[in-house]
Amino acid sequence: MSKKVHNFSAGPAILPAEVIKEAAQGALDFNNIGMSILEISHRSKDFIDVMEEARSLVKELMGFGSEYQVLFLGGGASMQFAMVPANLLVTGGTAAYVNTGVWASKAIKEAKGIGNINVIASSEDKKFSYVPKGYTIPTDANYLHITSNNTIYGTQQHQFDKSPIPVVCDMSSDIFSRRMDFSKFDLIYAGAQKNMGAAGATMVVVKESILGKTGRKMFSMLDYQVHIKGESMYNTPPVFSIYVSLLTLKWLKKNGGLAWIEKINDEKAKLMYDEIDRNSLFTGTCAKEDRSKMNACFLLKKPELEETFNKMWKDAGVSGIKGHRDVGGYRASMYNALTIDSVKALVDTMKEFEKKYADSKVTA
């Protein structure tokens, strides 16, 4: 039997074991029809049922009514960097963006290729180590774009003020991780591969009333209204990824929904950050009030001990905590399916490391 691996990968990320097991069965024989989910028609009743249930569960878990439409598309969240302004930025108008890291920066870059962009707040001055607050939202902008969680820098927006203009939010790395008033958002998009399923599908939830106002001719594949009319099947959708998303959403609902997973995520984050703050050999990288409950970034105070620590956490079965090159150090991604036992395994390793090497002045 293989050794237990504690998967802290930033994405594609850990999935619930029962979801992987059921998805594997579906890849062999879906619904006992003698065919794989990978080979059936996306127009068949079997897959249409998958799509309809997945879209329905998104609405149920987030509390959305009929004024919102749910789409499952391809192209990743990066495709949404272009689709959002293409669908919402009025010709001659302006969109407001908040820059909190790499992904927000990329969204800004793509939007500038379509129209006028006003970056109304940014944390770039301190290497994206905090989330901007207290900025003024221009009432004449077509929409405000924000990123709720920043995987690379380990920051997360915890409060969302009411906006006088439509709000677009990239929730790729913290979707379905906590309760909130989702009605504050007019469009939410998220890649599936963090909290929602396997890489390949992107979920979009959009208030239909904000669409069709740009005055520009749209490419069909970039037009939300075309995809809404086609019920997410204007073209062949990423079938297997959507199926895994459905299984993950069912797992979430079965266990108690967002209230259930929020409690677990809070416990994991507290355990992790308490150790980072307590341990004399480590330090956090961002403002404490803006720390992400999904991605804890931290540095080793004694870089000469890096190889020693790396060996210890690998020997403990920990995987995927190497930090992003823009930040360095370590990043523990604690998405929904990661158990608190895995966080304890990493924390215990950090404690053992301190006990052995806190007073060390040379590489062990």
pLDDT, tens only, 67-76: 999 999 999 9
Q: Which residues contact 195 (CB under 8 A, 6 or more apart)?
A: 13, 173, 174, 175, 176, 177, 248, 294, 335, 336, 337
170 is catalytic: yes
Query: Of 334, 263, 267, 272, which is closest to residue 298 (Cα–Cα)?
Result: 272
pLDDT digits (tens, 9 = 90+) for 268-279: 999 999 999 999
Q: In the predicted model, what is the mean pLDDT of residues 97-122?
A: 98
- In the predicted structure, residue 49 carries a pLDDT above the cut 80: yes
Q: Which among 170, 174, 186, 223 is annotated as catalytic?
A: 170
Which whole number is the average pLDDT over 296-301? Answer: 97
Q: Is 103 a catalytic residue?
A: yes
pLDDT of residue 2: 62
Range from 178-187, 331-340, 354-363 carrying the lowest mean pLDDT: 354-363
| pTM for this model (two decimals) | 0.96
Q: Is 206 helix (H, G, I), strand (E, B) or coil?
A: strand
Mean pLDDT (the chain, rounded): 96
Percent of the chain scoring above 90 in pLDDT = 96
Out of 174, 186, 194, 251, which one is annotated catalytic? Answer: 194
Q: What is the set of domains in the chain, with CATH numbers?
A: 17-255 (3.40.640.10), 257-357 (3.90.1150.10)
Q: Which of 3, 4, 49, 103 is catalytic?
A: 103
